[in-house]
Copies of this chain bind each other. A is one copy, B any other.
Amino acid sequence: MDSLKTPKGTTDESPRQCFLYEEIIEKIRGVFVLYGAVPISTPTFEMKSILTNKYGEDTKLIYDLKDQGGEICALRYDLTVPFARYLASNKIRKMKRYQIGRVYRRDQPSIVKGRLREFMQADFDIAGECIRMMADAEVISCVDRILKEFEIGEFKIKVNDRRILTSILEAVGVPCESYGTVCSTIDKIEKMSWKDISKEFIQKGLSEHQVNMIRKYMEMSGKENVLKLLRECPAYEIERCKEGVHDMEELFKFCRILGCEGSLVMDVSLARGLDYYTGMILEAEYIGKSVGSVIGGGRYDNLTENLGELQKTLHKE
């Protein structure tokens, strides 16, 4: 049978599965449209240069196309960077879009857990200026609506702010250039024991004292009260931590207004692996289900501009 298998980490979908996925996608698309998004579609592969250095440690998981005597291309790793590229190349400054499509990660796949090398993502993004934290709250509201739509059970939407996280690392004395790699360990806190987490931190150059300090911060989780606790911490001395805490407070306020505050949880250990996040980050999970996080995302303020810079830089040559 081996010669007729699909590549590692990919699967066929039977008619029954296709019908089910179609139903799921239709539900999600319905909510996206309700929140005022329009669809766009981007190619399955991008110029490799567009994808490089956007995903931190995960960059190594990008699937390259073979160089067959043309451009150097790679399969899209997510739909976020292609969206930023779409905005930059069309000089669009304001857009609310959705895109539902397959993405590709050359990861060690865990088929049992539903983690594949080729899988579907449904993205909702708001580009452009609006009232500070209003777009972030709208995204939370959209996530809340989708999770309710499926009527599977109780869920929580965990939020954090990248600036809070990096301020904590600064306060603990982690060197700036290690933030990315340390964050990708923090990202694993829920999935691994503290023993293994500590080991990884130490491998990445942290002292035992630093690990213990980080742990204290990471155990802060709850509702808005966490933000009050943070105000008492040394990290709060750092300006961007103040901004982060303030934005989180605004987020809770807007979410109350939008009626989606019930499921919201402030979790200082939430990190998200990808490099491009700059502010609010989020992850949602159903409570008591073992599937883990089902939705993730965050604010990425500079991605389009960075691509624009890439454009400028390359133009100078």
Enumerate chain A interface residues (CB-CB to B < 8 A): 1-8, 10-15, 17-19, 21-22, 38-47, 49-50, 63-68, 70-71, 73, 75, 85-86, 88-90, 97, 102, 104, 106, 118, 307, 310-311, 314-315
Of the candidates B10, B19, B63, the one whose C-beta lies within 8 Å of that of A39 is B19
Besides A64-B68, A65-B65, A65-B66, 13 more A-B contacts (Cβ < 8 Å) are: A3-B314, A4-B307, A7-B43, A7-B46, A7-B73, A8-B71, A10-B43, A11-B43, A12-B43, A12-B86, A15-B97, A17-B41, A63-B68
A46/B102 in contact, CB under 8 A:
no
23 A-B interface contacts by CB (under 8 A): A2-B314, A4-B307, A5-B47, A6-B42, A6-B43, A6-B46, A7-B45, A8-B70, A8-B71, A12-B40, A13-B40, A18-B38, A19-B39, A21-B41, A44-B44, A44-B102, A45-B118, A63-B66, A64-B65, A64-B66, A64-B68, A65-B65, A66-B66
Chain B residue at minimal CB-CB distance from A7: B73
A118/B8 in contact, CB under 8 A:
no
Chain B residues in 8 Å Cβ range of A42: 6, 12-13
A14 → chain B closest CB, angstroms: 6
Interface-centre pick from A8, A13, A97, A314 (highest chain B CB count, 10 A):
A13
A89/B4 in contact, CB under 8 A:
yes
Of the candidates B7, B13, B67, the one whose C-beta lies within 8 Å of that of A47 is B7
A107 → chain B closest CB, angstroms: 11
Chain B residue at minimal CB-CB distance from A42: B12
How long is the Cα–Cα vector from A275 to B71 in the complex, in angstroms?
28
Chain B residues in 8 Å Cβ range of A89: 1, 4-6, 12
A3/B65 in contact, CB under 8 A:
no
How long is the Cα–Cα vector from A50 to B17 in the complex, in angstroms?
23
How long is the Cα–Cα vector from A71 to B65 in the complex, in angstroms?
13
How long is the Cα–Cα vector from A66 to B62 in the complex, in angstroms?
11
A68/B15 in contact, CB under 8 A:
no
How long is the Cα–Cα vector from A208 to B90 in the complex, in angstroms?
53
A106/B70 in contact, CB under 8 A:
yes
Chain B residue at minimal CB-CB distance from A101: B102
A212 → chain B closest CB, angstroms: 38
How long is the Cα–Cα vector from A315 to B3 in the complex, in angstroms?
8
